Amino acid sequence: MAVEVVTFGCRLNTYESEVMKREADEAGLGTLENGAIIFNTCAVTAEAVRQARQAIRKARRDNPEARIIVTGCAAQTGADDFAAMDEVDLVLGNEEKLKSNSYRMLPDFGVNQFEKVRVNDIMEVRETASHMVDAIEGRARAFVQVQNGCDHRCTFCIIPYGRGNSRSVPMGGVVEQVKRLVGNGYAEVVLTGVDMTSYGPDLPGNLRLGKLVKTVLSQVPDLQRLRLSSIDSIEADEDLMEALANEKRLMPHLHLSLQSGDNMILKRMKRRHLRDDSIRFCEDVRKLRPDAVFGADIIAGFPTETEEMFQNSIRIVEECGLSHLHVFPYSPREGTPAARMPQLRREVIKERAARLRVAGDAAYRLHLENLKGTVQNILVERDGLGRTEGFTLTGLNTDDLSAGQIVSRMISGHDGDKLLAVPQNI
């Protein structure tokens, strides 16, 4: 039977799930009579952990004899909690999940059935190797890991304890992986990591993300579109800004890790930027790349946030020109400093998150409206849908296009959720 991998969370998890599937097959997990299901979990919010536990219980009900393995950030930070679930056969850490031998730690392969947890200290990991994959199942674009871990300790975030300290994939490995994917037909590749703009200082040559971007575009001339996942704007280097200005194959969509629009809250979060830094960055990028599109993560209801502080987060949506907003209602993560701060009532947090989403929805609709009448290059995804260079969802009104194909279309309008595209001669 085939090994099934269920993925939660970020693009890095999506990439790693492909590596895990290969390693698990190599270990012989696919030969088990009743199959195996691997859950690659996320720990960014308490809700993400709850959803993973719920999915595990459902999987056991639906597959009573299958082996269930849990890994990912939630498993790394809460191994004992998952080990205590009767539904779970094995818990692997974030480093262990990428090694084929880890998947043989089951009674089926002669291992003591009580040795249920294989989670080492992630802080001891010093390097991140390049794991070659040929494709990303079910995806029109491919993801390539360039970095893992984080050296920063934002007061709300548990992820460094799930991913370890920052470490970079050598540039040659990144280039070879991109070449491999382009050779397999991918027109668009997304560079991804936990704290991607911290790329490079741990490698020889004082490298930075901008140098990596320029090298990939130079060394892989057949790559049509290169995209960046979430970045920390305060760490954007000169080469990255030059690439945004001069490399049209580098997509003009940047997703920013803002988290708040209020200076006091940013300080209490231990972020490295202030609101004016974010506004100035967006202004600077637009001068270099007028078609730039910005998304952002913003947390609503962080401990001690007053209504006035919250209003600064509402205002920064317009001041930065954000059109793709990801809103997170604050939820305390055990073990983080923010969990020990004075908490807001849940109803206040939910209400503020709802208002922030309203502001984000209004900004997104304005963005859609501004694209009417333009011609956009669209990467076809599935079911008559695609994404523009600015990562805006687009309906293509046709089913005769292949996933992964890039087409040029006129934007005739929108339906509030997505752009509507037609052939240019219509």
- Spatial strand order in the sheet of 253-259: 253-259, 293-300, 322-329
In this predicted structure, the answer to whether residue 326 has a pLDDT above a threshold of 70 is yes
DSSP conformation class of 206: -
- Statement to judge: residues 114 and 164 lie in one domain: no
pLDDT of res. 126: 58
Please tell me the total number of residues recorded for the chain in this structure.
Answer: 426
Spell out where 224-348 has E strands: 225-228, 253-259, 293-300, 322-329
What residues contact 361, with CB distance under 8 A and at least 6 apart? none
- Statement to judge: residues 229 and 346 lie in one domain: yes
CB atoms under 10 Å from CB of 368, counted, come to 22
Q: Which tokens hold the place of 348?
A: 């206040």
| Whole-angstrom distance, CA of residue 219 vs CA of residue 96 | 32
Please choose, from the candidates 226, 263, 232, 261, the residue with its C-alpha nearest in 3D space to the C-alpha of residue 246: 226
- Interval 86-113 mean pLDDT: 82
- Statement to judge: residues 214 and 295 lie in one domain: yes
43, with CB counted inside 10 A (0-12, 13-18, 19+), is buried
How confident is the model over 150-199, as pLDDT tens digits? 999 999 998 888 888 898 999 999 999 999 999 999 999 999 999 999 99
- Statement to judge: residues 355 and 382 lie in one domain: no
- Cα torsion at 252, 256, 260, 261 (round to 10°)? -30
Q: pLDDT over 90 for what percent of the chain?
A: 66
Domain range for 379 is 374-422
Confidence class of residue 138 from pLDDT cuts 50, 70 and 90?
A: low
pLDDT of res. 353: 97
| Whole-angstrom distance, CA of residue 117 vs CA of residue 133 | 27
In this predicted structure, the answer to whether residue 382 has a pLDDT above a threshold of 70 is yes
Would residue 128 count as lying in a domain? no
Domain boundary among 327, 342, 369: 369
Of the listed ranges 112-121, 124-133, 137-146, 406-415, the one predicted with least confidence: 124-133
- Statement to judge: residues 364 and 389 lie in one domain: no
Would residue 45 count as lying in a domain? yes
How confident is the model over 53-99, as pLDDT tens digits? 999 999 999 999 999 999 999 999 888 899 999 999 999 988 888 88
- Interval 291-299 mean pLDDT: 97
Confidence class of residue 131 from pLDDT cuts 50, 70 and 90?
A: low
How far is CA 202 from its chain centroid?
A: 22
SS (H, E, C) 84-126: CCCCCCEEECCCHHHCHHHHHCCHHHCCCCCCCEECCCHHHCC
How confident is the model over 233-283, as pLDDT tens digits? 999 999 999 999 999 999 999 999 999 999 999 999 999 999 999 999 999
Confidence class of residue 122 from pLDDT cuts 50, 70 and 90?
A: low
| Whole-angstrom distance, CA of residue 193 vs CA of residue 189 | 13
- Statement to judge: residues 208 and 354 lie in one domain: yes
SS (H, E, C) 11-38: HHHHHHHHHHHHHHHHHCHHHCCCCEEE
Angle made by CA atoms 312, 314, 317, in degrees to the nearest 5: 105
Confidence class of residue 125 from pLDDT cuts 50, 70 and 90?
A: low
- Interval 294-301 mean pLDDT: 97
pLDDT of res. 121: 64
Would residue 243 count as lying in a domain? yes
CATH of the domain at 7: 3.40.50.12160
| Whole-angstrom distance, CA of residue 328 vs CA of residue 394 | 25
Q: pLDDT over 70 for what percent of the chain?
A: 93
Of the listed ranges 26-30, 106-110, 216-220, 369-373, the one predicted with least confidence: 106-110
Would residue 124 count as lying in a domain? no
Confidence class of residue 103 from pLDDT cuts 50, 70 and 90?
A: confident
How confident is the model over 343-364, as pLDDT tens digits? 999 999 999 999 999 999 999 9
136-164 b/e (C-beta count within 10 Å ≥ 16 → b): beebbbbbbbbbbbbebebbbbbbbbbbb
Domain boundary among 84, 118, 152: 118
What backbone phi and psi angles, to 5 degrees, belong to 142? -110, 150
- Statement to judge: residues 298 and 152 lie in one domain: yes
- Statement to judge: residues 309 and 408 lie in one domain: no
What string of DSSP letters covers 356-369? HHHHHHHHHHHHHH
Confidence class of residue 119 from pLDDT cuts 50, 70 and 90?
A: confident
- Statement to judge: residues 192 and 270 lie in one domain: yes
In this predicted structure, the answer to whether residue 394 has a pLDDT above a threshold of 80 is yes
User: In angstroms, how far is the first alpha carbon of the chain from the final one?
Assistant: 49
| Whole-angstrom distance, CA of residue 82 vs CA of residue 69 | 10
pLDDT of res. 10: 81
DSSP, collapsed to helix, strand or coil, labels residue 386 as: strand
Would residue 125 count as lying in a domain? no
pLDDT of res. 288: 97
Would residue 126 count as lying in a domain? no
- Statement to judge: residues 253 and 173 lie in one domain: yes
Structural domains of the chain, count: 3
Of the listed ranges 136-140, 293-297, 389-393, 417-421, the one predicted with least confidence: 136-140
In this predicted structure, the answer to whether residue 129 has a pLDDT above a threshold of 60 is no
Q: At what angle are helices 238-246 and 209-219 packed, to 10 degrees? A: 40
| CA atoms within 13 A of residue 200's CA, in its CB half-sphere | 18
CATH of the domain at 314: 3.80.30.20
Cα R_g (the chain), whole angstroms: 22
- Statement to judge: residues 301 and 166 lie in one domain: yes
- Statement to judge: residues 248 and 315 lie in one domain: yes
- Interval 417-424 mean pLDDT: 90
pLDDT of res. 105: 83
Residues 69, 103: contact at Cβ < 8 Å?
yes
Would residue 130 count as lying in a domain? no
pLDDT of res. 375: 95
Domain boundary among 332, 349, 369: 369
CB atoms under 10 Å from CB of 226, counted, come to 20
Residue type, 239: D
Region class of 187: left (phi > 0), else alpha (psi between -120 and 50), else beta: alpha
26, with CB counted inside 10 A (0-12, 13-18, 19+), is middle
Would residue 406 count as lying in a domain? yes
Residues 197, 203: contact at Cβ < 8 Å?
no
| Whole-angstrom distance, CA of residue 312 vs CA of residue 209 | 30
| Whole-angstrom distance, CA of residue 293 vs CA of residue 391 | 8
In this predicted structure, the answer to whether residue 384 has a pLDDT above a threshold of 90 is no
What residues contact 31, with CB distance under 8 A and at least 6 apart? none
Please choose, from the candidates 295, 308, 291, the residue with its C-alpha nearest in 3D space to the C-alpha of residue 370: 291
Confidence class of residue 417 from pLDDT cuts 50, 70 and 90?
A: very high
